[in-house]
Amino acid sequence: MPIPLRYRISACFFLLLGLLLSAQVHAQTITVAVASNLKPAFEEIHQQFKQLPGSHQAMRIVYGSSGNLASQMKQGAPYDLFISADESYPLRLADEGVTRDRGVIYAYGHLALMTNTAAGLSLSSDPEQIKRLLKNAKKIAIANPELAPYGKASVQYLKAIKVWNEVKDRLVLTDNISIAAVYVSTGALKVGLTALSIAKAPELAATTQYIALPDDLYEPIRQRTVLKKNPPPAAIALYDYLQSSAAKQILVKNGYTIP
């Protein structure tokens, strides 16, 4: 018996509606908030992640200081995943009910001293030479310690080596740790404290030199990542991939330690 026309029209309508909804879901863009120190490593992680089967969903990446990104997320910014430079901001968001849970530590960061190559400064791991270099610097770039975990670590380091009183009035505070490195690499400033991961970036090799600073002179930089409440599947997939052996290899190559 032939199917009545009205049923065939209804079936076609629901089929088209399903296809449209499926296309909309597939076309959704996830937004990832990433601390600036992670930029060199995350760009490589992102490229690898895109090659995975089923990982072709569009992704918007927002880089910035952890403090600013956390504040934006708390105020309703549509960040599906927050990859922080420390754990205080993600844990605060979790305690305030913004995130799915308390997330995981994905890496430990490290601090570096960077100088502009053209300045002709001698850079050594000798503690006394480092102190002299910092005391003689007219200006020193660091990230704002109120916003950036690496800025906070920089202040701790300067106090630990007992040069804080001499240099505190000569600090140039930047919105995030990447900008501190830009100031040094462009020659705007000769000396800066930055993340080891940024100091190791190949594009800075021609204009800067760096040394890693002792980890015991500042608090451990535990970098944590968290998902928002009810995250989309693509954000969960990226969250999981960040903890994979492939992603860990990239993080280690970029100067991080893996928990």
C-alpha 69/C-alpha 38 separation (Å) is 14
Find out whether 66 is annotated in a ligand binding site.
yes
217, 90, 85: which is closest to 154 by C-alpha? 217
Beta-ladder partners of 99? 228
Specify whether the CB–CB gap between 69 and 76 falls below 8 A: no
Find out whether 10 is annotated in a ligand binding site.
no
- Burial code (b: 16+ CB inside 10 Å, e: under 16) for 21-30 equals eeeeeeeeeb
One-letter-per-residue 3-state SS of 50-61: HCCCCCCCCEEE
Beta-ladder partners of 113? 193, 211
Specify whether the CB–CB gap between 218 and 20 falls below 8 A: no
Binding-site members for molybdate are 66, 177
Binding-site members are 66, 177
